[in-house]
């Protein structure tokens, strides 16, 4: 009887260890390439129409600043670190300062460890604190505290100025995409079509895309279960211009 109990306990332990190993593998492994189709009304940046929109955009300063530093997120929950690293490097360049691992300085680890982020990602507030820990000024704007018109105005102004950046936190389902909460930087604004260029850091799933401002706003105006607040956006700038 004791032997049966011992073997039963061993089986439970072995199962628990296998489950833990599976969860860890999922969190730390590179996300698989899926190349999913874009949602309705979204225009791929690499398409003929997408390229034309960027060429005609009067508000595309951030695209040029961010593009050299944009890299796909290396883990499933690393949209925040991938976005943060790109913004930090673009703001404090010209040479890259951090990557998605070295982003986790002692000050950042005090906010949230790389291990914790690998499992749970970053909320809008946490990403703001990470950027501040690297010397940037950040304004947090939750959708519940603003409106579509104010967001459009802020986006156009930010994307027209050097050393200022716009980061969106949204629910993918609002764009007709697979997934849930996501973070990516914004690269340009097209006033002619009222679209924003989302520089999606989850390159394994979706390409950069032009998204109607109203659709992105609706996707941001959703509740993040981790924070208990609506998603929204960050307005990021340097304390002083870096040449």
Alpha carbon distance 139, 237 (integer Å):
9
User: Check: CATH 3.90.70.30 for 31-238?
Assistant: yes
DSSP state of 97: -
Domain boundaries, the chain: 31-238
CA 63 to chain centroid, in Å, comes to: 15
User: How large is the average pLDDT for residues 33-37?
Assistant: 86
Evaluate the omega torsion of the peptide bond into residue 15 and state whether it is cis, within 30 degrees of 0: no
If we measure between CA atoms, which residue out of 212, 204, 217 comes closest to residue 168? Answer: 217
pLDDT in tens, 206-216: 999 999 999 99
Q: Is the pLDDT reported for residue 15 higher than 50?
A: no
Contacts of 202 (CB under 8 A, 6+ apart): 31, 72, 73, 79, 179, 182, 184
As a whole number of angstroms, the distance between CA 167 and CA 70 comes to 13
CA distance from start to end of the chain: 76
Neighbouring residues of 124: CB distance < 8 A, sequence distance ≥ 6: 140, 142, 169, 183, 224, 227, 229, 231, 232, 233, 234
pLDDT per residue as tens digits for the range 76-115: 999 999 999 999 999 998 888 899 999 999 999 999 999 9
Q: Which pLDDT score is estimated for 107?
A: 97
pLDDT band at 197 (very low <50, low <70, confident <90, very high): very high
User: Looking at residue 7, what is its pLDDT?
Assistant: 57
Q: Is 106 helix (H, G, I), strand (E, B) or coil?
A: helix
Name residues whose C-beta falls within 8 Å of residue 133's C-beta, 6 or more positions apart in sequence. 105, 107, 108, 111
pLDDT at 16: 39
- DSSP lists the bridge partners of residue 141 as 233
Place of tokens 């628990």: 16
pLDDT at 93 (0 to 100): 84
Residue 242 pLDDT greater than 80, yes or no: no
Q: How far apart are CA 94 and CA 127, in angstroms?
A: 22
Average pLDDT of span 167-175: 98
Q: Are 132 and 138 in contact (CB under 8 A)?
A: yes
Distance CA(189)–CA(23), nearest Å, equals: 39
């Amino acid at each position: 009887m004791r032997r049966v109990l011992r073997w039963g306990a061993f089986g439970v332990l072995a199962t628990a260890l296998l489950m833990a190993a599976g969860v860890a593998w999922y969190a730390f492994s590179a996300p698989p390439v899926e190349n999913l189709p874009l949602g309705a009304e979204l225009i791929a940046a690499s398409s003929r129409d997408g390229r034309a929109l960027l060429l005609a955009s009067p508000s595309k300063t951030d695209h040029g600043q961010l593009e050299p530093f944009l890299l796909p997120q290396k883990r499933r929950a690393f949209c925040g670190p991938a976005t943060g690293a790109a913004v930090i490097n673009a703001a404090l360049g010209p040479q890259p300062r951090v990557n998605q691992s070295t982003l986790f300085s002692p000050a950042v680890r005090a906010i949230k460890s790389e291990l914790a982020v690998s499992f749970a990602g970053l909320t809008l507030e946490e990403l703001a604190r990470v950027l501040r820990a690297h010397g940037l000024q950040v304004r947090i704007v939750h959708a519940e505290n603003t409106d579509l018109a104010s967001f459009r105005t802020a986006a156009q102004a930010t994307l027209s100025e050097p050393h200022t950046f716009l980061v969106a936190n949204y629910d993918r389902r609002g764009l007709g995409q697979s997934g849930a909460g996501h973070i990516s930087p914004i690269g340009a604004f097209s006033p002619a079509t009222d679209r924003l260029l989302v520089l999606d850091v989850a390159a394994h799933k979706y390409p950069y895309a032009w998204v109607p401002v109203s659709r992105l706003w609706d996707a941001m105006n959703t509740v993040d279960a981790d924070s208990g607040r609506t998603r929204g956006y960050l307005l990021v700038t340097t304390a002083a211009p870096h040449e």
